[in-house]
């Protein structure tokens, strides 16, 4: 039996061992004790602040982002002692070398009058430049915080300062900061967590276990320990960054523990009969990642699964990949055959050889089994291919996900030349989006609408692409950029918007959040039109060029 698997079972939302509190990540069972710590930039930043240049700080974010853990960490660091339990009040005063840190572990848990009192104390501390040497560290839900500030006119000064910092973190100063954990880049921690949980010492009891050949938990550990598989799991989380989605630490812990265990424990493996083994075989990590076959109650606790379903590589048929999956070992290509035999072998996730028998039956054109074989296997095999194909030299693995321009988007954050090259494509996509017509390629942005009147023309030289800024206070990777017109009008571009515009640029149709993206683009267009000053004697329009079959710019002189 492996006690580490029981530790992972804490995060199984359907397990009797499930814990709702993750701020310690510890587990004790008899002589076995396990704890780990993910180093984060925000913790180092807060520690440095209170050790050398104290100020008041509000931590905001969703439940599960680690606000309470950070408050505990600062207490431990300042006092040199472990905080065993929070006082019933949820507030603790901590003496330190610069005075006192007043830690409020969760503003939302307090009564309204207590919240008002604490925020009033914070306001006074800021206004007096902390003359009484009391510094606040408050963990707060943004909604609760702003509601309370709005309801109390006496807190107008604090409300104004909080609002400025929510709008832009650069408004933080040496007196008062807001650190919003929603701005943490989720994918940064996935690699660290997989590395930590897959350490060999955690799995050493499994090496000599008689069940390890038929243990789906052990197989998931071995596979996700493989470097290229681990990178691709991180890659999927990085796509969520690009889509503007934040996953809390709690959600990540639940999700990744499920990836590894499928919701099973060593007892389940040990006691499984034939039916039990069959159920376990259906839980390889690449199925668990998307929550395939998961109970509804667990699904509601793992918000990440709803998002990853959109990125599921099993749903899309790419002909050369499907052909390799079904026929690669009989292709006559020696490299393909070796790769196929290595990938689709007799291991547990492929039913210990049963898959190969079914594949042979499929090739014999058994009419009754063909349709059932494809229905039962092909999506699972695409997912396995996506994660386990050793390299991207022979196949476009990423074509299995619904976003066609991920690589182009990724390179936007790496090279200036890619940003310059993509600018014209984005302008062309915007022209087609604004006019709802197939506008000819040009290096000018037309502020037009569906009536085809051009309110203003903006050359490519007046349009810049600027990356989201990096941060020194939290773990944050730039994940979107801004398209700026005349230094005044900003369009935030995440992967949804980028994909939408690049498809329009290529003349394709689109189905990536069409309505949501178009609302954003219409707002951007209206801002440009609002600042336009049309020439009263020249009417710029888009007209159909009959020879080209495209709409082009033209002028009408008004006498």
Strand 56-60 with 134-140, pairing: parallel
Task: Find the mean pLDDT for residues 442-463.
Answer: 92
Cβ proximity of 421 and 321 under 8 Å = no
- Please say if the pLDDT value at position 16 is more than 80: no
- Please say if the pLDDT value at position 297 is more than 80: no
Amino acid 178: pLDDT: 97
Here the tokens at position 151 are: 């309801």
Which helix or strand (DSSP H or E) is residue 24 part of? none
Cβ proximity of 387 and 233 under 8 Å = yes
Cβ proximity of 195 and 75 under 8 Å = no
- Please say if the pLDDT value at position 403 is more than 80: yes
Percent of the chain with pLDDT over 90: 70
Which helix or strand (DSSP H or E) is residue 32 part of? strand 32-35
Task: Find the mean pLDDT for residues 182-188.
Answer: 93
Question: Which distant-in-sequence residues (6+ apart) come within 8 Å of 347 by Cβ?
Answer: 219
- Please say if the pLDDT value at position 468 is more than 80: yes
- The residue with tokens 């503007």 is 244
- Please say if the pLDDT value at position 538 is more than 90: no
Amino acid 29: pLDDT: 55
Using alpha carbons, select from 464, 453, 446, 461 the residue that is nearest to residue 528.
446
Task: Find the mean pLDDT for residues 209-225.
Answer: 95
User: For the chain, how long is the longest CA-to-CA vector?
Assistant: 93
Cβ proximity of 119 and 148 under 8 Å = yes
pLDDT-derived band at 366, boundaries 50, 70, 90: low
Amino acid 277: pLDDT: 93
Report the distance separating Cα 3 and Cα 204, nearest Å. Answer: 11
Amino acid 286: pLDDT: 97
Amino acid 61: pLDDT: 93
Task: Find the mean pLDDT for residues 228-244.
Answer: 96
pLDDT digits (tens, 9 = 90+) for 316-339: 999 999 999 999 999 888 999 999
pLDDT-derived band at 310, boundaries 50, 70, 90: confident
3-state secondary structure 298-339: HHHHCHHHHHHHHHCCCCCCCHHHHHHHHHHHHCCCHHHHHH
Amino acid 314: pLDDT: 96
Higher pLDDT residue, 303 or 77?
Answer: 77
Using alpha carbons, select from 402, 421, 406, 452 the residue that is nearest to residue 555.
452
Higher pLDDT residue, 431 or 39?
Answer: 431
Count of other CB atoms within 10 angstroms of residue 285? 26
pLDDT-derived band at 554, boundaries 50, 70, 90: confident
Count of other CB atoms within 10 angstroms of residue 371? 10
pLDDT digits (tens, 9 = 90+) for 481-498: 999 999 999 999 999 999
Higher pLDDT residue, 57 or 356?
Answer: 57
- Please say if the pLDDT value at position 36 is more than 70: yes
The edge-to-edge listing of strands for the beta sheet with 453-459 is 444-448, 453-459, 538-545, 550-557
* Least confident piece of the model among 287-291, 356-360, 427-431: 356-360
Strand 176-180 with 56-60, pairing: parallel
Report the distance separating Cα 102 and Cα 73, nearest Å. Answer: 14
Question: Which distant-in-sequence residues (6+ apart) come within 8 Å of 183 by Cβ?
Answer: 169, 246, 471, 474, 476
According to DSSP, residue 439 is labeled B
Kindly give the residue spans of alpha helices, DSSP state H, lying in 99-178. 112-127, 142-151, 156-167
**For residues 23-39, b (16+ Cβ closer than 10 Å) or e, as one string?**
bebebeeeeeebeeebe
- Please say if the pLDDT value at position 429 is more than 60: yes
DSSP string, 483-535: EEETTTEEEEE-HHHHHHHHHHHTT----SSHHHHHHHHHHHHHHHHHT----
pLDDT-derived band at 190, boundaries 50, 70, 90: very high
What are the structural domains, with CATH classification, of the chain? 3-37+185-311 (no CATH), 41-183 (3.40.50), 319-400 (no CATH), 406-557 (no CATH)
pLDDT digits (tens, 9 = 90+) for 113-147: 999 999 999 999 999 999 999 999 999 999 999 99
Question: Which distant-in-sequence residues (6+ apart) come within 8 Å of 258 by Cβ?
Answer: 11, 12, 288, 291, 294, 298, 302
Report the distance separating Cα 519 and Cα 497, nearest Å. Answer: 11
- Rg of the chain over Cα atoms, rounded to whole angstroms, equals 28
The separation between the first and the last C-alpha atoms of the chain, rounded to the nearest angstrom, is 90
- Please say if the pLDDT value at position 273 is more than 80: yes
- Please say if the pLDDT value at position 245 is more than 80: yes
Cβ proximity of 109 and 90 under 8 Å = yes
Task: Find the mean pLDDT for residues 42-61.
Answer: 96
* Least confident piece of the model among 186-195, 317-326, 358-367, 494-503: 358-367
Here the tokens at position 161 are: 């300062």
| Averaged pLDDT of the chain | 90
Q: What angle do CA 279, 311, 235 make, to 5 degrees?
A: 95
- Please say if the pLDDT value at position 459 is more than 80: yes
Question: Which distant-in-sequence residues (6+ apart) come within 8 Å of 301 by Cβ?
Answer: 13, 254
Task: Find the mean pLDDT for residues 209-235.
Answer: 96
Task: Find the mean pLDDT for residues 344-365.
Answer: 89
Task: Find the mean pLDDT for residues 350-378.
Answer: 82
**Best mean pLDDT range from 296-300, 302-306, 428-432:** 428-432
pLDDT-derived band at 505, boundaries 50, 70, 90: very high
* Least confident piece of the model among 106-120, 257-271, 531-545: 531-545
Phi, psi of 35 (to 5 degrees): -150, 150
Percent of the chain with pLDDT over 70: 94
Report the distance separating Cα 449 and Cα 157, nearest Å. Answer: 43
| Measured CA distances, 115 to 59, 121, 177, 467 (Å) | 15, 10, 18, 38
- Please say if the pLDDT value at position 269 is more than 70: yes
Cβ proximity of 437 and 448 under 8 Å = no
**For residues 501-520, b (16+ Cβ closer than 10 Å) or e, as one string?**
bbbbbeeeebebbeeebeeb
Phi, psi of 480 (to 5 degrees): -145, 170
Report the distance separating Cα 203 and Cα 219, nearest Å. Answer: 11
pTM: 0.91
Amino acid 294: pLDDT: 81
* Secondary structure class of 371 (helix, strand, coil): helix
């Amino acid at each position: 039996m492996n006690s580490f698997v029981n530790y992972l079972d804490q995060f199984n939302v359907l397990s009797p061992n499930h814990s709702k509190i993750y701020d310690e990540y510890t587990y004790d069972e008899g002589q076995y004790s396990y704890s780990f710590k993910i180093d984060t930039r925000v913790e180092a930043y807060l520690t440095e602040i209170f050790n050398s240049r104290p100020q008041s700080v509000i931590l905001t974010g969703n439940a599960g982002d680690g606000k309470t853990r950070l408050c505990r960490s600062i207490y431990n660091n300042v006092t040199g002692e472990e905080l065993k339990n929070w006082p019933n009040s949820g507030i603790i005063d901590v003496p330190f070398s610069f005075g006192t840190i007043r830690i409020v572990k969760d503003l939302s848990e307090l009564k309204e009058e207590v919240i008002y009192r604490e925020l009033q104390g914070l306001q006074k501390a800021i206004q007096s430049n902390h003359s009484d040497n009391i510094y606040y560290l408050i963990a707060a839900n943004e909604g609760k915080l702003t509601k309370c500030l709005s309801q109390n006119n006496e807190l107008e000064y604090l409300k104004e300062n909080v609002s400025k910092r929510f709008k832009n973190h650069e408004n933080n100063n040496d007196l008062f900061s807001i650190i919003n954990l929603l701005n943490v880049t989720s994918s940064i921690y996935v690699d660290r967590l997989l590395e930590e949980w897959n350490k060999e010492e955690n799995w050493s009891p499994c090496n000599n276990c008689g069940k390890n050949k038929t243990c789906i938990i052990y197989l998931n550990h071995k596979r996700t320990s493989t470097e290229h598989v681990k990178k691709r799991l991180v890659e999927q989380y990085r796509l969520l960054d690009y889509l503007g989605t934040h996953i809390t630490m709690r959600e990540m812990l639940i999700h990744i523990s499920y990836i590894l265990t499928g919701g099973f424990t060593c007892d389940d493996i040990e006691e499984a009969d034939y039916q039990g083994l069959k159920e376990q075989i259906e839980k390889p990590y690449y199925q668990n990642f998307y929550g395939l076959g998961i109970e509804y109650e667990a699904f509601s606790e793992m918000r990440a699964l709803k998002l990853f379903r959109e990125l599921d590589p099993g749903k899309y048929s790419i002909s050369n990949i499907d052909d390799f999956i079904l026929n690669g070992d009989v292709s006559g290509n020696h490299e393909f055959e070796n790769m196929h035999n290595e990938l689709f072998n007799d291991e547990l996730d492929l039913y210990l050889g049963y898959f190969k028998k079914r594949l042979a039956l499929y090739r014999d054109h058994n009419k009754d089994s063909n349709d059932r074989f494809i229905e039962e296997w092909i999506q699972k095999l695409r997912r396995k291919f996506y994660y386990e194909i050793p390299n991207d030299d022979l196949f476009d693995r990423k074509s299995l996900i619904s976003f066609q321009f991920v690589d182009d988007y990724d390179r936007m954050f790496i090279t200036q030349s890619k940003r310059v090259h993509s600018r014209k494509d984005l302008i062309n996509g915007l022209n087609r989006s604004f006019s709802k017509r197939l506008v000819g390629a040009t290096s000018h942005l037309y502020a037009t609408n569906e009536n085809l009147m051009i309110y203003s023309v903006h050359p490519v030289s007046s349009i810049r692409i600027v990356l989201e800024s990096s941060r020194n206070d939290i773990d944050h990777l730039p994940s979107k950029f801004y398209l700026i017109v005349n230094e005044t009008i900003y369009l935030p571009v995440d992967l949804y918007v980028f994909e939408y515009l690049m498809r329009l640029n290529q003349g394709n149709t689109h189905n990536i959040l069409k309505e949501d993206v178009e609302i954003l683009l219409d707002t951007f267009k209206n801002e440009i039109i609002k600042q336009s000053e049309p020439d009263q004697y020249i009417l710029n329009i888009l007209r159909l060029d009959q020879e080209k079959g495209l709409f082009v710019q033209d002028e009408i002189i008004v006498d």
